Every structure is written in structure tokens, then in C-alpha cells.
Amino acid sequence: MWNYSQKMMDHFLNPRNAGEIPDADAVGQVGSIVCGDSLKLTLKIDRATGRITDAKFLTFGCGSAIASASALTEMIKGKTLDEASKITDEDIARYLDGLPPEKMHCSVMGADALRAAIAAYRGEPPPESQLDEKDIVCHCFGITRQKIEKVVREHGLTTVEQVTQYTKAGGGCGKCKGKIADIIATVRAGSAAPARPKRMTNIERMRRIEEAIAREIRPALQAEGGDVELIDVEGPRVTVGLRGRCAECKAADVTLSKVVEARLRELVDPEIVVVEEN
């Protein structure tokens, strides 16, 4: 089960600015109900100052999609279009005190809707307007090669699982995972310097570690009569306690390094160092 911040739950249970501005100056619509998620963002803009005076949203999706859209409308009201255009999906996630990695596509959808609305107001073609069927990589969710390339480049993504978290691509039938892996390799090979993921906050790192332990590590240890408990997280240093048979095992050091540390480095942060509680 995912862990959600109190702020995220507040925006889900008490969404701000839900609805639609009937005489909107700008409309941005992304996603599709057929593909699982959609968001319509409507803006009222003061033409003299270029400031967003009102913003409302309609969304079809999960609680994280509702919270992300609600947060976005609060973030952009009062800003100029130039200021609003600089808001990223990471900014939306931070505003909500973090999102589970599997829900980052919700904040991405919000940022995409904002860019589409601003483009519409300025008379510019909407993002991806020139794309056709051959550009779609994930047909389950209608995700294009260009979008996958963009998130890989912007966020320094290195695995198919990360791309799925940010875009949902590969989260359906899975037939496109090979193509996604090829796109990742191509983007990274074409970079003058490999992109590095943005620095995680300690709260986000702890949340990801907790999820990785619950989903991937604890079940494997429990199957052998053991267990692991997260004690503390200080930057990349993770303190855990081995329980059950793992605590009594002579190969406890191997379990820490080859199972716990190795999986956390793979799933969360390659710089993680796991130590056992004193």
C-alpha cells in the first residue's frame, strides 16, 4: 500500500477549484478516459497583466490525479503565464509533500495540461499536435516516443519501471517494454553527460525505501522465516534491523549487502548504504 502525505490526502478529499470556467480564456486538455486518466484545465487570464486570475479543473483518475490537479490550480493562480510555464511536475509533487513513485504520472499530467493551456492562449500548436499513430509507443495508454524521451531526459530515468511511474507507459499489456528500454538507451547514449536524477528529499527517500522494503524485500525474507525493520534514514545511510531467522543467521552480513542494500540501490538510490542497528 502506498504512503500518502497529509497534504496530498487533503487535496484529494477537499479538492480546490474543481469544475470548469464557462468563459475560459485558455483550455488545456490531456490524457483520455479510454486510456485511464484525463485532465481538463481551464484558465481565466487578465489580458492587461498576463496573470492567471482563476483556474479550475475536471479530471478522471485516481486520488493522486485529483490532488495533483487541485494543487496545480492553487500554484498558478496569481502568476503570470511566464511564471506558470516554469512549473514542473516535480514542483507539483513537492507542493503535495511528495507523491509515491508509482503516481508521478499524475503530476506529469498536470504539467502537460498547463503547457497545453498556455500554448492555446498564445495561439501556439499544442504539445504533440503533429504526432500520428506511428509515434505512439504504448498503445494501452497512448504514450508517445517523444513523451518518453522527454521524461527520461528531464528526470534522468534509467529503467522501464521508472518510465512507467512517470508516464504509465508499459503499465498495461507490457508489450512496449522492449521499445521503452531501447528509447532509454538511445537518450542516454546521446547525452553528452548522463543525466542525473534530481536530488531526493529525505522524506521522499524514506517513502521510497519503505515501499521497496514492503513490496520487494520483506516478502522474500519472510518466506524464509526472517524479516527486516526500517529503523532510520539519514541521507543515503539506511539503518535497519534484521528480525526472525535473519537475526540469528550467521550470514546476516550477506543478507544486508546482497539482499537489502542491493535491492534498495536498484529500486531507490544507487548511493544507499545499509547498516544494521547497534
Mean pLDDT rounded to a whole number for the chain: 86
- Please give the pLDDT value at position 130: 47
Q: String of b and e for 238-265 (b: at least 16 CB within 10 Å)?
A: bbbebbeebeeeeeeeebbeebbbebbe
The answer to whether 12 and 68 are in contact (CB under 8 A) is no
Element (H, E) at 40: strand 37-46
β pairing state of 143-144 and 226-234? unpaired
Residue 122 in grid coordinates:
498564445
Residue 42 in grid coordinates:
481551464
- Please give the pLDDT value at position 251: 79
**pLDDT tens-digit series, residues 28-84:** 998 765 556 789 999 999 999 999 999 999 998 889 999 999 999 999 999 999 999
- Please give the pLDDT value at position 44: 96
Q: Kindly report the pTM of this predicted structure.
A: 0.60
| DSSP-assigned beta bridge partners for residue 34 | none
d(CA 34, CA 61): 11
**pLDDT tens-digit series, residues 100-132:** 888 888 999 999 999 999 999 988 876 655 455
Give all domains of the chain, ordered by start, each with its CATH number.
Answer: 6-121 (3.90.1010.10), 133-190 (1.10.10.1100), 202-276 (3.30.300.130)
**pLDDT tens-digit series, residues 126-155:** 665 545 557 788 888 878 888 899 889 888
Nearest to 142 by CA among 34, 41, 29, 69: 34
Check if 176 is active-site.
no
- C-beta pairs of 154-157 under 8 Å, 24+ apart in sequence: 154/88, 154/195, 155/90, 155/195, 155/197, 155/198, 156/194, 156/195, 156/196, 156/197, 156/198, 157/184, 157/197
Check if 138 is active-site.
no
Binned at pLDDT 50, 70 and 90, residue 1 comes out as: low
Residue 57 in grid coordinates:
479543473
Select which of 106, 138, 140, 246 is catalytic: 106
Residue type, 143: I
d(CA 255, CA 227): 11
